Amino acid sequence: MDLTETLYIAAAGMRAQGFRLRIVAENMANANSTGTEPGGDPYRRKMVTFKNALDRQLGMVTVQVDKVVTDDGEFEKDFDPNHPAADATGYVKMPNVNSLIEITDMREAQRSYEANMKVLEAARGMLQRTVDLLR
């Protein structure tokens, strides 16, 4: 494998994990976003799936975001009869976002991003040393 291919693969991994971090941030920002009408559904947690994809221009397989899917988990209900989104019994559906899971996903994405950055730095350093030797 050529070192420049390593740079492209690491950069693709960084792009994918950066996108994942944006989705985690969106989930955390909407952790308390309830419905706007009585009995309405609140914000539903989103998750990112990845796939290996052939980059025809580069002629190699890299990681890419496949799609953003919603978590079909159950909503919790809080009793708050004065809330505008409360149903007839006084319960409000709360988003299915668990902050602990989001923090775990964020740390995993952050560490994957950092690992790709280390690969990028190592490959760049090797290329720089090669250029220095040729001088």
**Per-residue pLDDT reduced to its tens digit, 82-115:** 998 999 899 999 999 999 999 999 999 999 999 9
Average pLDDT over residues 123-132: 90
Q: CB atoms < 10 A from the CB of 97, how many?
A: 24
Q: Cα dihedral sign for 98, 101, 103, 105?
A: negative
Strand partners for 32: none
At residue 59, the pLDDT reads 85
Tokens, residue 102: 């989001």
The model carries a pTM of 0.85
Burial of residue 130, with CB atoms counted within 10 A of its CB: 0-12 exposed, 13-18 middle, 19 or more buried = exposed
The least confident of 32-41, 46-55, 62-71, 99-108 is: 32-41
Q: CB atoms < 10 A from the CB of 124, how many?
A: 14
Q: Is residue 51's pLDDT more than 80?
A: yes
Q: Are 77 and 93 in contact (CB under 8 A)?
A: yes
At residue 4, the pLDDT reads 82
Tokens, residue 74: 């159950």
